[in-house]
């Protein structure tokens, strides 16, 4: 077989394989619900604010600690946060808010040890809550379903 024909066939095979993979990725992206993307972006914001607090703790930037704690508390007060009326989930949320308020207070008092302890407790609370949500398959409830 002519080398240029072989090269052309190889190139066409590679392009068609890329097209198949690309269409599968595109199909997955289309399958993802807008609500899932919004929740994913919301969780990313929570992670970003947590990183801000950690950075503030490591460099003793108390304004950054306070701002990060405030941003985390505001997320917890957002409607997107309320994925379940389950009482265990509600308690995790209440504890999260309490810990962000304590973290903010410790930041205002420039108490690095207190702020660090609250950050660690906040992280533990997040991990335990996410574990609970995964294990219990806590999901978003349709408000219309609750009204019936």
3 and 69 fall within a common domain: no
52 and 90 fall within a common domain: yes
27 and 38 fall within a common domain: no
Q: Does the pLDDT at position 6 exceed 60?
A: no
Instruction: List the Cα angle 62/64/65 in 5-degree steps.
Output: 60
17 and 51 fall within a common domain: no
74 and 20 fall within a common domain: no
70 and 11 fall within a common domain: no
51 and 110 fall within a common domain: yes
Q: What is the band of 17 on the pLDDT scale with cuts at 50, 70, 90?
A: very low
Q: Say which residue, 28 or 59, is predicted with more confidence.
A: 59
58 and 92 fall within a common domain: yes
106 and 135 fall within a common domain: yes
User: What would the two tokens of residue 35 be?
Assistant: 């609500």
Q: Does the pLDDT at position 8 exceed 60?
A: no
75 and 24 fall within a common domain: no
Closest CA to 61 of 5, 107, 96, 6: 107
Range of the domain at 106: 34-147
CATH code at 124? 1.20.120.10
CA distance 138 to 133: 5
pLDDT tens for each residue of 66-91: 999 999 999 988 877 777 888 999 99
5 and 44 fall within a common domain: no
1 and 41 fall within a common domain: no
pLDDT at residue 80 in the model: 75
Count of structural domains, the chain: 2
């Amino acid at each position: 077989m002519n080398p240029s024909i072989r090269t052309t066939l190889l190139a066409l095979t590679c392009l068609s394989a890329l097209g198949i993979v690309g269409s599968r990725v595109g199909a997955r992206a289309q399958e993802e619900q807008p609500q899932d993307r919004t929740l994913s972006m919301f969780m990313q914001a929570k992670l970003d604010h947590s990183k801000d607090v950690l950075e503030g703790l490591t460099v003793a930037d108390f304004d950054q600690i306070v701002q990060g704690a405030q941003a985390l508390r505001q997320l917890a007060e957002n409607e997107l946060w309320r994925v379940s009326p389950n009482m265990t989930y509600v308690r995790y949320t209440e504890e999260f808010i309490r810990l962000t308020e304590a973290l903010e207070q410790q930041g205002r008092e420039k108490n690095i040890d207190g702020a660090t302890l609250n950050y660690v407790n906040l992280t533990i609370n997040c991990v335990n809550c996410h574990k609970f949500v995964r294990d219990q398959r806590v999901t978003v409830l349709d408000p219309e379903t609750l009204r019936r």
